[in-house]
């Protein structure tokens, strides 16, 4: 084990308010010392890293994604559509996914995230078919090659068009199979330790694609296995109308009815809540992942993220699927969140610090990972270092504010668990050009398969 001093950063934001102006010390996989202004480490360090040209922050945490959607970015039939018609345009394409496509898209999405300073990501995979029975197993294998920490959710769709749901019947599964596969994945891959690089959660897709029975059974299984629960909720007005028509309840009422008012639950989007529903979420200890870019692109609405957070709801950030963003860049998503909340509440109501907090500690809270999201002593050594040497930063005064206000796009160095995964803007363990080439091949194959089957 060696002690590494990241010394004299241009700026260091720990996420806790503690002074680390002269950097931090890492021993193995953990932060062991914060070095205040004017000080040096209390004990000898056998390695140093000159961070004087870098802004140092905790590794960013992405609370909601769909890795496979990197294969269908800017797909012509899905352009300029709201959520329901957008999904209906894409479901037939996604029905042709296979193992090779999932492996390539998982590698590409995690690489893109890592290069943006994101060290932990949650993915929501819910498309399964005869071509793709074990997508999560493939994701586990692919994630190991990149090096981010992941929470992989076993998503599901069981309510097809013929039964009144939105997805085509070709991509829905029997509920008994969904539950047995969920249990298998937890047994095979879920690591609940603080050092974990892979955790499994359960994630029925949405009120318009699964039955109430599956929601209830998933909640029971999650409770018995002590894993988290995730779903899309209150994303659009169409979803609210669907719930009222099918269940006679608004989405939050429905969530309570199926037993999801629980601290294990975090929701994607959470846009269309009224005041009483926000209070209900607080009482239920339910978290919300704000996905600003996706919400804007699909015209879904503006999440009341600041109100939710101030009321006591756990709030984090997610890039969402790369077919509704269409990117996987967490530092840019923090900027989007800051801008959207300023637009909603006023310029003085959401600072760069507020947005970075959502993108770090907020995500750690959603995923129940208290060892992540900050640079305090004892925390996992997950961090990102950004240089401000591009034209967009020229003339800045406050380096930390410049990170978001001037639009940082790519990290220079990224560490996960004490190991460098990005050096000088380049991935350490993988060739991004090779990943992109293989990903491009799979995207083309997916479109060709869809075109063939749609004739």
- Section 418-427 average pLDDT: 98
Entry field: residues in the chain: 455
- Statement: residue 214 has pLDDT above 90: yes
Query: Which pLDDT value is given to residue 33?
Result: 98
Cα distances from 276 to residues 227, 279, 308, in angstroms, run 28, 5, 12
Query: What is the spatial distance between Cα 332 and Cα 337, in angstroms, rounded to a whole number?
Result: 9
* Sign of the torsion angle spanned by Cα atoms 269, 273, 278, 283: negative
* CATH code of domain 3-58+379-427: 2.30.40.10
Q: Where are the beta strands (DSSP E) in 218-302?
A: 229-233, 265-269, 287-290
What average pLDDT does the segment 321-339 reach? 94
Q: What is the mean pLDDT of residues 116-129?
A: 96
Model confidence at 139, pLDDT cuts 50, 70, 90, reads very high
Strands (E) across 43-130 are located at 47-50, 54-58, 60-62, 118-125
pLDDT at res. 179 = 98
Residues 129 and 157 sit within 8 Å (Cβ to Cβ): no
- H/E element, 187: helix 175-189
Arithmetic mean of pLDDT, 286-313: 97
Q: Is the peptide bond before 326 cis (omega within 30 degrees of 0)?
A: yes
Confidence of residue 455 (pLDDT cuts 50, 70, 90): low
Q: Does domain 60-366 have CATH number 3.30.300.350?
A: no
**pLDDT bracket for residue 145 (50, 70, 90):** very high
User: Looking at the DSSP assignment, which residues form a beta bridge with residue 24?
Assistant: 6, 34
Q: Do β-strands 23-27 and 30-34 pair in parallel, antiparallel, or remain unpaired? A: antiparallel
Half-sphere exposure of 1 (CA within 13 A, CB side): 12
Question: Between the CA of residue 53 and those of 22, 115, 439, what are the distances in Å?
Answer: 13, 18, 34
- Percent over 70 (pLDDT), the chain: 100
pLDDT for the residue numbered 322: 84
What pLDDT is stored for residue 164 in this prediction?
A: 96
Closest CA to 312 of 285, 339, 348: 285
Report the pLDDT value the prediction gives residue 133, as an integer from 0 to 100: 86
User: Does the pLDDT of residue 1 top 60, yes or no?
Assistant: no
Residues near 31 by Cβ (< 8 Å), separated by ≥ 6? Answer: 24, 25, 375, 376, 377, 378, 379, 380, 381
Q: Quick count: other Cβ atoms within 10 Å of Cβ 16? A: 16
Q: Alpha carbon of 308 to those of 282, 297, 339: distances in Å?
A: 8, 22, 17
Please give the average per-residue pLDDT across 86-92, as a whole number.
95
Task: Please report the DSSP string for 278-327 in residue order.
Answer: HHHHHHHT-EEEE-HHHHHHTT-----HHHHHHHT--EEE----TTSS--
Nearest C-alpha neighbor of 204 from the set 224, 191, 190, 220: 220
**Neighbouring C-alpha atoms within 13 Å toward the C-beta of 269:** 27
* pLDDT higher than threshold 80 for residue 353: yes
What's residue 130's pLDDT? 84
118-125 vs 60-62, strand pairing mode: parallel
Q: How far is it, in rounded angstroms, from Cα 96 to Cα 71?
A: 11
Indicate the SS3 state at residue 116.
coil
Q: What is the largest CA-CA distance in the chain?
A: 70
pLDDT digits (tens, 9 = 90+) for 73-85: 999 999 999 999 9
Reading across the β-sheet that carries 118-125, which strands appear in turn?
60-62, 118-125, 149-156, 198-204, 229-233, 265-269, 287-290, 315-317
Q: Where are the domains of the chain?
A: 3-58+379-427, 60-366
Report the pLDDT value the prediction gives residue 323, as an integer from 0 to 100: 84
Mean pLDDT of the chain: 97
Residues 6+ apart with CB under 8 A from 51: 6, 7, 8, 9, 10, 12, 23, 385
Whole-angstrom distance, CA of residue 352 vs CA of residue 203? 31
H or E stretch including 387? strand 383-387
CA distance 76 to 169: 23
Which whole number is the average pLDDT over 258-269?
98
Res. 197: pLDDT tops 80? yes
């Amino acid at each position: 084990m060696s002690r590494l001093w990241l010394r004299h950063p241009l700026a260091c934001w720990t996420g806790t308010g503690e002074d680390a102006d002269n950097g931090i010390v890492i021993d193995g996989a953990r932060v062991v010392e914060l070095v205040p202004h004017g000080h040096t480490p209390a004990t000898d360090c056998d390695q140093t890293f000159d961070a004087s040209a870098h802004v140092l922050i905790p590794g960013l945490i992405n609370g909601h994604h769909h890795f496979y959607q990197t294969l269908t970015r800017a797909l012509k039939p899905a352009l300029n559509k709201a959520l329901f018609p957008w999904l209906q345009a894409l479901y037939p394409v996604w029905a042709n996914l296979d193992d090779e496509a999932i492996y390539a898209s998982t590698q590409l999405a995690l690489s893109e995230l890592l290069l943006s300073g994101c060290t932990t990501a949650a993915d929501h995979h819910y498309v399964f078919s005869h071509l793709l029975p074990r997508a999560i197993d493939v994701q586990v294998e692919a994630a190991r090659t990149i090096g981010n920490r992941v929470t992989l959710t076993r998503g599901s769709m069981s309510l097809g068009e013929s039964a009144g749901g939105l997805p085509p019947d070709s991509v829905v599964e029997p509920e008994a199979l969904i539950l047995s596969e969920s249990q298998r994945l937890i047994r095979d891959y879920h690591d609940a330790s603080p050092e974990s690089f892979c955790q499994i959660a359960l994630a029925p897709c949405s009120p318009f694609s699964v039955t109430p029975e599956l929601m209830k059974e998933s909640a029971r299984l999650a409770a018995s296995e002590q894993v988290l629960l995730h779903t899309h909720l209150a994303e659009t007005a169409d979803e609210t109308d669907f719930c009222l028509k099918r269940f006679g309840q608004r989405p939050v009422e429905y969530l309570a009815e199926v037993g999801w008012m629980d601290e294990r639950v975090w929701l994607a989007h959470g846009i269309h809540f009224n005041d009483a529903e926000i209070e209900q979420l607080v009482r239920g200890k339910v978290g919300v992942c704000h996905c600003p870019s996706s919400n804007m692109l699909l015209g879904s609405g503006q999440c009341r993220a600041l109100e939710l957070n101030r009321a006591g709801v756990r709030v984090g950030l997610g890039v969402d699927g790369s077919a509704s963003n269409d990117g996987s860049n967490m530092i840019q998503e923090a900027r989007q969140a800051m801008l959207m909340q300023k637009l909603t509440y006023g310029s003085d109501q959401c600072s760069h610090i507020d947005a970075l907090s959502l993108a770090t500690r907020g995500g750690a809270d959603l995923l129940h990972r208290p060892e992540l999201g900050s640079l305090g002593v004892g925390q996992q050594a997950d961090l990102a270092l950004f240089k401000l040497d591009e034209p967009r930063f020229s003339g800045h005064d406050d380096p930390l504010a410049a990170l978001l206000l001037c639009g940082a796009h790519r990290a220079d160095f990224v560490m996960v668990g004490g190991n460098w995964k990005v050096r000088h803007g380049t991935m350490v363990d993988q060739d991004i050009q090779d990943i992109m080439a293989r990903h491009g091949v799979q995207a083309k194959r997916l479109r060709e398969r869809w075109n063939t089957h749609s004739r």
